[in-house]
């Protein structure tokens, strides 16, 4: 991968990743934590899968709000960047922009200017300090983001920028009750589905799965599973490894 962007990018503004413990960025602030180790395992398996399949664009989503998909999106993108992969993290939740506010990179003019001028002509990207991690922020919340996400211009812009990165991680809205996430998953190579212990309603999860191509689900994450002791951690670690796709797994599911 070339060191410079291949398109007409404007030099991105840099931002500093939150360093406070409450930021929940364990991938960089608490690398000895069990969660950080699980993220490294996930990133390693994704990188191995990428060698065998055309996997670059990952959508991270959940059935309902509050399951931790934004935390997973941010930490997964950082973990991949720590491998020195070039990673683009997109705040695809145009209704709330939680990721952009969390990183302090909200672009108030994103929605209106992007539709008129296009992605590549604007200084929309933000670059994390000391990491090969770039962020496309969201702007002011919009009521009907589907109108933007479903345009040919958005699809073409995504296809045009993906050549500059090894990974594109898209933090999407929940699958229920809006259709925005379904649009994004249709553009993705694979989907990371986040659930949360004692939070995700089974009925909502069933409804969510009806809205997407299930063959694209590369891994399902159980968030907030408590690691009360080291033995429990090893059991959970083994469970996560077994849940991740083995070589050929993605291809087999898509053929089915």
Say how far apart CA 151 and CA 137 lie, in whole Å: 18
The average pLDDT across 225-249 equals: 43
Residue 30: per-residue pLDDT: 87
Residue 77 or 156, more confident: 77
Using pLDDT thresholds of 50, 70 and 90, give the confidence band for residue 239: very low
Using pLDDT thresholds of 50, 70 and 90, give the confidence band for residue 115: low
Task: Please report, for the chain, the start and end positions of each structural domain, with discontinuous segments joined by +.
Answer: 35-255
Percent of residues, the chain, with pLDDT higher than 70 = 74
- Whether the CB-CB separation of 93 and 173 falls below 8 Å is answered with yes
Q: Across the strands, what pairs with 170?
A: 59, 90
Average pLDDT, the chain: 76
Q: List the strands of the sheet with 167-171, edge to edge.
A: 13-15, 126-128, 133-136, 87-91, 167-171, 57-62, 190-196, 217-223
The CATH class of the 35-255 domain is: alpha beta
Residue 21 or 131, more confident: 131
Helix 34-52 and helix 230-243, axial crossing angle in degrees, nearest 10: 20
The average pLDDT across 168-180 equals: 86
Q: State pLDDT tens for residues 213-225.
A: 888 998 888 876 5
- Whether the CB-CB separation of 56 and 162 falls below 8 Å is answered with yes
pLDDT score of 1 more than 50: no
Residue 236: per-residue pLDDT: 44
């Amino acid at each position: 991968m070339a060191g410079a962007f291949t398109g007409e990018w404007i030099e991105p503004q840099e931002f500093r990743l939150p360093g406070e413990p409450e930021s929940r960025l364990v991938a960089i602030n608490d690398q000895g934590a069990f969660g950080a180790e699980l993220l490294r395992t996930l990133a390693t398996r994704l990188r191995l899968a990428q060698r065998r399949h055309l996997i670059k664009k990952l959508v991270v989503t959940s059935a309902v709000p509050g399951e931790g998909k934004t935390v997973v999106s941010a930490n997964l993108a950082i973990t991949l960047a720590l491998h020195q992969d070039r990673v683009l993290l997109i705040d695809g939740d145009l209704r709330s922009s939680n990721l952009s506010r969390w990183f302090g990179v909200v672009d108030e003019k994103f929605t209106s200017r992007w539709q008129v001028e296009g992605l590549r002509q604007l200084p929309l990207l933000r670059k994390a300090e000391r990491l090969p991690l770039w962020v496309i922020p969201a702007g002011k919340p919009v009521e009907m983001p589907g109108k933007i996400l479903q345009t040919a211009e958005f699809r073409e812009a995504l296809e045009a920028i993906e050549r500059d990165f090894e990974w594109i991680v898209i933090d999407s809205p929940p699958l229920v009750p809006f259709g925005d996430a379904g649009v994004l998953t249709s553009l993705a190579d694979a989907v990371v589905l986040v659930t949360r212990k004692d939070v995700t309603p089974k009925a909502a999860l069933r409804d969510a799965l009806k809205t997407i191509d299930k063959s694209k689900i590369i891994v399902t994450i159980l968030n907030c599973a408590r690691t009360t002791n080291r033995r429990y951690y090893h059991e959970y670690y083994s469970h996560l490894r077994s849940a991740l796709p083995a070589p050929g797994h993605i291809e087999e599911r898509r053929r089915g």
